[in-house]
């Protein structure tokens, strides 16, 4: 077979995997619209896709997955480093030789009756010093169509790779075909044998058994975070689970901010914020991943390596995120939402009343009296970033953008202030290392439990998190760098009646405005154990629909709760053993001292 590349490493690898997986055909993806339309048509015929109304959602599709394959599966995600201790206590580890032996047998014959797709893709703009090229081999046309949206993909990537270029090997299969054939299987998967395995030293990703985005779109969490975080450690940069936005003040001051939030905690909403404060504007650069490098000017520069958004649909509406709604009006893939009778999508929290007739996320007629939701809580939309009406013109600039502030946040119903500025870089790293949030439906498991999620990287750091903390701290050791300020935010505090204290959404622009005023040396602040918080009469909070008492409550730190938090942080830190940096112990001791201990 003639392949559209002269890269011998790639040709040899494709042949090796074809011999192992035994596909009926091999297809090198060119990334064209014609290819996408052809694959989408095949998926419609198979029942994986349903074409939505061209009046309601032009060139858009609805998919529903197998009920067992709806989210990332953290207990089946592995870091297969050569030494177990390098994976650390927050990752599942397996010996790389044993893992490859196990998975090789699973891959054997797994593509019989299917096509092997070769997806050349680049995370980041072609030619950027930030970017990394990967090749994903998959037997899932659903993966191909989504990867075309989420990454730079196709012939141009092969041309950039050239005859001698290196690439990250990404292998994926949904699992062995059923004995009876697959003509009636819309969503093949193998839930009994799911493995999402990462090999840090050799920069490889092997995924088997799942077709869900976070497990199968291997350029996303697998490459852009788990493998990239290891490369970043080795090469002196950062690969982070962060949004990236551009904020412009009424005076024309421009600041770029990143923010780390666990999945489904408002990251996309903040990245696409529509400010309520007059004269302020927010433009989106990225909603999920940010790669950060030191620029020649000593500042940290950030870039979103993705080309699309893979957002959570439930709760998204014109009231909560109008930019997201305007982005997905066309050319969008919806997965596990409900389907309306007139060929549109629907989910809990969307604008308007529930339609009288719905197909639920599993493809069944929905009973409005049911206690179960019509859409899955982790239902997703996949859409190109360039479609966003408020995408920043420089969102795809290969140089990246200079970062002024880094935000950390999660779901905390008490204790953590609305916003606090760290006292130093080391204190900011401490705040990031102790982040905690109520769990959401973005990962399989219990919902609503409080868990520590340092830097929102708990499921995504590809090496020992104690070493990860040390890597972050190392930037503070370089006194020549002009580092961003670090802020902790919490939109989710509640009162005694379990009602949110802060209105959130567009009003979050008030917090961003206060941060800008702090960066520009204008805003006053008072000190708390978590850092510096706004004073009660700060003008950025004038005109809010909440009274002054509730506003003050948002930034209060209860000493009894803080004492419990200190105990929890101590237990959290103990899990990292002797790899926990001494600077973080110093910060914990300072927090204890601030609480009178």
Give me 132's structure tokens: 């990394």
Is residue 114 marked as binding? Answer: no
Q: Tell me the DSSP string of 197-242.
A: EEETTTTEEEEES--SHHHH-TIIIIIIIIIHHHHHHHHT-EEESE
Q: Report how far residue 50's alpha carbon sits from residue 44's, in angstroms, rounded to the nearest whole number.
A: 5
Is residue 154 marked as binding? Answer: no
Q: Report how far residue 129's alpha carbon sits from residue 236's, in angstroms, rounded to the nearest whole number.
A: 13
CA distances 175 to 77, 107, 205, 425, Å, are 16, 7, 16, 46
Neighbouring CB atoms inside 10 A of 1's CB total 9
Is residue 269 marked as binding? Answer: yes
Residue 461 a catalytic site member: no
Closest Cα partner for 381 from 443, 342, 338?
Answer: 338
Q: What's the CA angle centered on 150, arms 504 and 5, to 5 degrees? A: 165
Q: Report how far residue 286's alpha carbon sits from residue 272's, in angstroms, rounded to the nearest whole number.
A: 9
Is residue 241 marked as binding? Answer: yes
Is residue 428 marked as binding? Answer: no
Q: Is 260 helix (H, G, I), strand (E, B) or coil?
A: strand
Q: Which of the following is catalytic: 21, 265, 290, 461?
A: 265
Q: 277: burial class by Cβ within 10 Å (0-12, 13-18, 19+)?
A: middle
Contacts of 72 (CB under 8 A, 6+ apart): 212, 214, 215, 221, 442, 443, 444, 459
Q: Report how far residue 388's alpha carbon sits from residue 327's, in angstroms, rounded to the nearest whole number.
A: 5
Give me 72's structure tokens: 């990332």
Is residue 246 marked as binding? Answer: no
Is residue 267 marked as binding? Answer: yes
Is residue 221 marked as binding? Answer: yes
Is residue 396 marked as binding? Answer: no
Is residue 213 marked as binding? Answer: yes
Closest Cα partner for 174 from 221, 206, 209?
Answer: 209
The per-residue b/e assignment along 129-146, b for 16 or more CB within 10 angstroms, e otherwise, is ebbbbbbbbbbbbbbbbb
Closest Cα partner for 132 from 167, 156, 170, 165?
Answer: 167
Is residue 72 marked as binding? Answer: yes
- Torsion of the alpha carbons at 434, 435, 436 and 441, rounded to the nearest 10: -140
Is residue 80 marked as binding? Answer: no
Q: What's the CA angle centered on 178, arms 220 and 363, to 5 degrees? A: 65
Residue 85 and residue 107 in contact, taking contact as beta carbons nearer than 8 Å: no
Is residue 264 marked as binding? Answer: yes
Is residue 549 marked as binding? Answer: no
Terminal C-alpha separation, the chain: 72
Binding residues for GTP: 264-269, 380, 411, 505-508
Positions marked active-site: 265
Binding residues for substrate: 72, 212-214, 263, 378-380
Binding residues: 72, 212-214, 221, 241, 263-269, 288, 378-380, 411, 505-508
Binding residues for Mn(2+): 221, 241, 288
């Amino acid at each position: 077979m003639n392949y559209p590349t002269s890269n011998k490493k790639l040709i040899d690898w494709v042949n090796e995997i074809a011999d192992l997986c035994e596909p009926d055909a091999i297809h090198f993806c060119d990334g064209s619209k014609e290819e996408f339309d052809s694959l989408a048509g095949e998926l419609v015929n198979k029942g994986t896709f349903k074409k939505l109304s061209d009046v309601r959602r032009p060139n858009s599709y609805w998919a529903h997955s197998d009920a067992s394959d709806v989210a990332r599966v953290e207990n089946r995600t592995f870091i297969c480093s050569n030494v177990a201790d390098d994976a650390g206590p927050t990752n599942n580890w397996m010996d790389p030789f044993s893992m490859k032996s196990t998975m090789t047998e699973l891959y054997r014959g797994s593509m019989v009756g299917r096509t092997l797709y070769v997806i050349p893709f680049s995370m980041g703009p072609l030619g950027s010093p930030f970017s990394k090229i990967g090749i994903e081999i998959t037997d899932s046309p659903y993966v191909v169509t989504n990867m075309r949206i989420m990454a730079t993909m196709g012939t141009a990537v092969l041309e950039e790779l050239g005859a001698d270029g290196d690439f990250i090997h990404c292998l994926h299969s949904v699992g062995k075909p059923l004995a009876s054939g697959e003509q009636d299987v819309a969503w093949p998967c193998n839930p009994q044998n799911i493995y999402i395995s990462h090999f840090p030293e050799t920069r490889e990703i092997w995924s088997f058994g799942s077709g869900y985005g976070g497990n199968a779109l291997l350029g996303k969490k697998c490459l852009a975070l788990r493998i990239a975080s290891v490369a970043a450690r080795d090469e002196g940069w950062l690969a982070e689970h962060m949004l990236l936005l551009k904020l412009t003040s009424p005076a024309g001051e421009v600041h770029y901010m990143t923010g780390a939030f666990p999945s489904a905690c408002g990251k996309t909403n903040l990245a696409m914020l529509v400010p309520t404060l007059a004269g302020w504007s927010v433009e989106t650069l990225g909603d999920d991943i940010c790669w950060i490098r030191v620029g020649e000017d000593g500042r940290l520069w950030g870039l979103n390596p993705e080309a699309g958004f893979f957002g959570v649909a439930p709760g998204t509406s014109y009231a909560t995120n109008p930019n997201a709604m305007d982005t997905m009006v066309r050319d969008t893939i919806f997965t596990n939402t409900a389907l309306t009778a007139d060929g549109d999508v629907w989910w809990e929290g969307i604008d308007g009343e529930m339609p009288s007739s719905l197909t639920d996320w599993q493809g069944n007629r929905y009973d409005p009296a049911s206690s179960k939701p019509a859409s899955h809580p982790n239902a997703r939309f996949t859409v190109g970033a360039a479609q966003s009406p408020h995408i920043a013109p420089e969102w795809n600039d290969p140089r990246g953008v200079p970062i002024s502030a880094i935000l950390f946040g999660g779901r905390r119903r008490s204790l953590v202030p609305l916003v606090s500025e760290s006292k130093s870089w080391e204190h900011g790293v401490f705040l990031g290392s102790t982040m905690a949030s109520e769990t959401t439906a973005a990962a399989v498991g219990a919902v609503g439990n409080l868990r520590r999620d340092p830097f929102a990287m708990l499921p995504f750091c590809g090496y020992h998190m104690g070493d990860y903390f040390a890597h972050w701290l190392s930037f503070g050791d370089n006194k020549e760098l002009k580092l961003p300020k670090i802020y902790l935010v919490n939109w989710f505090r509640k009162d005694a009646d379990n009602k949110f204290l802060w209105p959130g959404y567009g009003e979050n622009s008030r917090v961003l405005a206060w941060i800008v005023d702090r960066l520009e040396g204008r805003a006053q602040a008072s000190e708390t154990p978590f850092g510096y918080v706004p004073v009660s009469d700060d003008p950025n909070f004038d005109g809010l629909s909440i009274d002054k008492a509730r506003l003050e409550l948002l930034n209060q730190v209860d000493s009894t709760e803080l004492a419990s938090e200190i105990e929890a942080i101590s237990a959290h830190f103990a899990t990292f053993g002797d790899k926990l940096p001494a600077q973080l112990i110093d910060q914990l001791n300072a927090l204890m001292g601030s609480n009178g201990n």
